[in-house]
Amino acid sequence: MSKKTILLIDMNSFFASVHQAEDPSLFGKPIIVGGVPNNRKKGLVIAASYEAKNKGVYTTMSVYEALKKCPEAIIVERNHTLYGSYSKKIMDFLRLIGPTETASIDEAYVDITERVQKGTSPKMIATYIQKMLWEKLRLGCSIGCSNTKTSAKMAADIKKPFGYVHLQQLQFCCYFHPQKLSKLHGCGQKTEEKLNKYDIFTIGDLAKSDPLQLKLILGKRGEWLQKAALGIGSDRVNPEREKGDKTIGKEKTFAQPISEPELLMSLARKMIESLCERLKQKNLRAGTIAVVYKTKREEGSHSKSMTLDEATSDREQIYQVVEKLYDDHLSEIPLVLFGVRFSNFKDTNYIQLSLF
């Protein structure tokens, strides 16, 4: 069993909270981020504060419908530059705590193993993080703690907002095994429906299933999901992963979940064309290729990545990497967001020199 101690910091209603932090008069009020500049009643809800969520507002519903549910809501226009600047402050602060892996603009894994081994309790560290982020930035977060990244992620979802949940492997199993498969991080609706046909309905059912049967049903993903159901998984926090402005990417959010590979790969090819054009303009090649995705609207985005032996800007090579990442990790999983992201850049001149 892993001896690591990992925190997953999940910022609460991040986009809406940033606007409240910027304008204190918005604190405690229902905020909807979205709409279109000339007509705030058109467009989709990009994010909402808890005050708006409690009235039934959710991400991707139309602003028109959201205002029916919460007429007193205040509409604010999205500002990704502002969110990025706050995210950078958060990540820079977390790196002072321990090795930090950026999972998305509002989520990060922090390895606190060394601090715990020196005698500081995980709860004390988590409380300190929550206290400092609130005092300095006026932003709240929920924190999950466990010995693997997936378990920490699932623990963070238990108590929101401002929650802290610490689950050891046995506690993880006791809490999650009676719950539906949809609660297992990485298990989408299509996968759940497949498993239900074999009388696998709960996370506990999955944990005690025959591994060979799971491999026949889901391929490699069956083994990965069963390990996740047992509280086993990766404990490697990668500080080099996608550091803020050192990435470029494109994403698309869908009105309805999409699981058709042909449609998603066609979209991926268009994204790669656009991103490779940007690489060409900047005289760069990408060393790490990632697919970005969401399986649930209310969650932050996740990603799966591959680091290449040699950085590249070749469209076809990058497409093959994206296709493999999708096939290995996301095949047949309904996605509400899909994207492609490049990072770990090398400039073309450096690459030419390194060959000689």
Q: What is the mean pLDDT of the chain?
A: 88
In a domain, 235, yes or no: no
Q: Are residues 34 and 125 in the same domain?
A: yes
- Which residue segment(s) compose the domain that 279 sits in? 244-354
Residues 318-339, mean pLDDT to the nearest whole number: 90
Residue by residue, DSSP assigns 235-283 as: ----TTS--GGGEEEEEEEEEEEE--HHHHHHHHHHHHHHHHHHHHHHT
Q: Are residues 150 and 74 in the same domain?
A: yes
Amino acid (one-letter) located at 172: F
Listed ranges 74-88, 94-108, 117-131, 178-192; the one with the highest mean pLDDT: 117-131
Q: Are residues 52 and 178 in the same domain?
A: no
**Digit-coded pLDDT (tens) for 189-226:** 778 888 999 999 999 999 999 999 998 988 878 888 99
Q: Of 149, 166, 183, which one is at a domain's C-terminal end?
A: 166
pLDDT > 90? residue 98? yes
Q: Are residues 158 and 189 in the same domain?
A: no
How far is residue 353's CA from residue 227's CA, in Å, rounded to a whole number?
44
What pLDDT does residue 37 have?
58
pLDDT > 90? residue 311? no
pLDDT > 50? residue 169? yes
In a domain, 220, yes or no: yes
Contacts of 125 (CB under 8 A, 6+ apart): 7, 97, 112, 115, 116
pLDDT > 70? residue 350? no
In a domain, 108, yes or no: yes
Q: Of 132, 150, 166, which one is at a domain's C-terminal end?
A: 166
How far is residue 203's CA from residue 155's CA, in Å, rounded to a whole number?
14
Across the strands, what pairs with 341? 249, 290
Q: Are residues 154 and 187 in the same domain?
A: no
pLDDT > 70? residue 39? no
pTM for the full predicted model: 0.68
Residues 236-247, mean pLDDT to the nearest whole number: 66
Q: Are residues 10 and 153 in the same domain?
A: yes
Domain CATH for 90: 3.30.70.270
How far is residue 166's CA from residue 156's CA, in Å, rounded to a whole number?
9
In a domain, 238, yes or no: no
Report residue 317 CA to chain centroid gap.
Answer: 25
Residues 250-272, mean pLDDT to the nearest whole number: 89
Domain CATH for 181: 1.10.150.20
**Domain total of the chain:** 3
Say which of 107, 298, 299, 310 is annotated catalytic: 107
What pLDDT does residue 185 have?
86
Q: Are residues 202 and 150 in the same domain?
A: no
In a domain, 298, yes or no: yes
**Digit-coded pLDDT (tens) for 103-155:** 878 899 999 999 999 999 999 999 999 999 999 999 999 999 999 999 999 99
Q: Are residues 208 and 255 in the same domain?
A: no
107 counts as catalytic? yes
In a domain, 123, yes or no: yes
Residues 227-241, mean pLDDT to the nearest whole number: 86
Q: Of 145, 166, 187, which one is at a domain's C-terminal end?
A: 166
In a domain, 234, yes or no: no
Q: Are residues 187 and 257 in the same domain?
A: no
Is residue 139 packed enough to be buried (19+ CB in 10 Å), middle (13-18) or exposed (0-12)?
buried
pLDDT > 80? residue 355? no
pLDDT bracket for residue 244 (50, 70, 90): very low
In a domain, 239, yes or no: no
Q: Are the C-beta atoms of 212 and 124 separated by less than 8 Å?
A: no
What pLDDT does residue 181 have?
93
Count of Cβ atoms closer than 10 Å to residue 199 Cβ: 8
